[in-house]
Amino acid sequence: MNANVTHHAAGRIGRRSWGLRLSVALAGLLAASGGALAQDAMGKSFVETFDTLSGSRWFVSDGWDNGKHQNCTWSKQQVQVADGNLVLSFEKKQLKNRDYSCGEVQTKERFSYGTYEARMKSGTGSGLNAAFFTYIGPVHKQPHDEIDFEVLTKDPSKVQVNAYVGGKSNDEKLVDVPGGADQGFNDYAFVWEKERLRWYVNGQLVHEVTEPSQLPSHPQKIFFSLWGTDTLREWMGAFSDPGKPVTMAVDRVAFTALGEPCQFEGSVACTLQ
């Protein structure tokens, strides 16, 4: 869901280094897939409820980390489908040069303007990040564009929303998650249009951007990830070994292209039509 200093210029490196993160991760992914990602298809509207994890839609990150700021190695063992949910986990399980293992998936296709929605529940733990986001960047021979929902699980009462254009952050904002992101499933959605970008939590508008220079314009992949850090303390909190596996569960994800019928009852896209 975020290789380089450009992602967090002028003091933002202390918060996160997604540029480095995804360049490293996707470079490994490209090596694993023989460069096939350069031929990514453009995604169409869909809804997925995770009865299985579709190999035609999802790529599972496995066997690398995203740089010194990340204290875990992506592992396919930390990605499961259980009880109709996609479950990503973080736990103390040594893999390669990291003491912890963590989970991430991303779509093989890219998606453009439309409504992106996820119903998910996070765990808790200082120094961890449970994210639903979209991203495209230099490894795809594209500028770095990104749209985020990130639960910093040191305080699951809130979720951070943000967007990047050309690797530059656009006024990140912490918004309330009624009842807490860890206490039950909540609905997170953003509606990405050429002239505006809107974020919703449980159907309620929580943030909007209309400034043209702050609006991503390049089709992106959809990501879910759960990871930790020993170094980004100011942003994610001081890491503390949770003593047991921490999980995030995704009950549903959907994409509705602009102008197409909403994909499920209660979708934010239904209210826009």
Q: What is the pLDDT of residues 127-146, one digit of tens each?
A: 999 999 999 999 889 999 99
Provide, rounded to the nearest whole percent, the portion of the chain with pLDDT above 70. 85
40 pLDDT tier (thresholds 50, 70, 90) = low
- How far is residue 119's CA from residue 195's CA, in Å, rounded to a whole number? 26
Is residue 51 predicted with pLDDT exceeding 70?
yes
Q: What is the pLDDT of residues 61-112, one digit of tens each?
A: 999 998 999 999 999 999 999 999 999 999 999 999 999 999 999 999 999 9
Residue 202: left if φ>0, alpha if ψ -120 to 50, beta else—which one?
left
Q: Which domain holds residue 68?
A: 5-35+43-271
Answer yes or no: 234 catalytic. no
Provide, rounded to the nearest whole percent, the portion of the chain with pLDDT above 90. 81
Q: What is the pLDDT of residues 4-20, one digit of tens each?
A: 322 332 223 333 444 44
Is residue 169 predicted with pLDDT exceeding 90?
no
3-class secondary structure per residue, 245-273: CEEEEEEEEEEEECCCCCCCCCCHHHHCC
Helices and strands: H and E segment counts in the chain: 3, 17
CATH number at residue 264: 2.60.120.200
pTM over 0.75? The answer is yes
The active-site residue, picked from 146, 172, 193, 211, is 146
Per-residue DSSP letter, 29 = H
The arithmetic mean of pLDDT across residues 23-40, rounded, is: 45
Q: What is the pLDDT of residues 207-252, one digit of tens each?
A: 999 999 999 999 999 999 999 999 999 999 999 999 999 999 999 9
Residue 235 vs residues 154, 172, 176: alpha-carbon distances, Å: 10, 12, 17
Answer yes or no: 172 catalytic. no
Is residue 196 predicted with pLDDT exceeding 80?
yes
Mean pLDDT of the chain: 88
The active-site residue, picked from 150, 172, 208, 260, is 150
Is residue 200 predicted with pLDDT exceeding 70?
yes
Total domains in the fold of the chain: 1
- Return the pLDDT at 222: 98
273 pLDDT tier (thresholds 50, 70, 90) = low
- DSSP H/E element including 22: helix 18-33
Q: Phi and psi dihedrals of 237, rounded to 5?
A: 90, 160
- Return the pLDDT at 42: 85
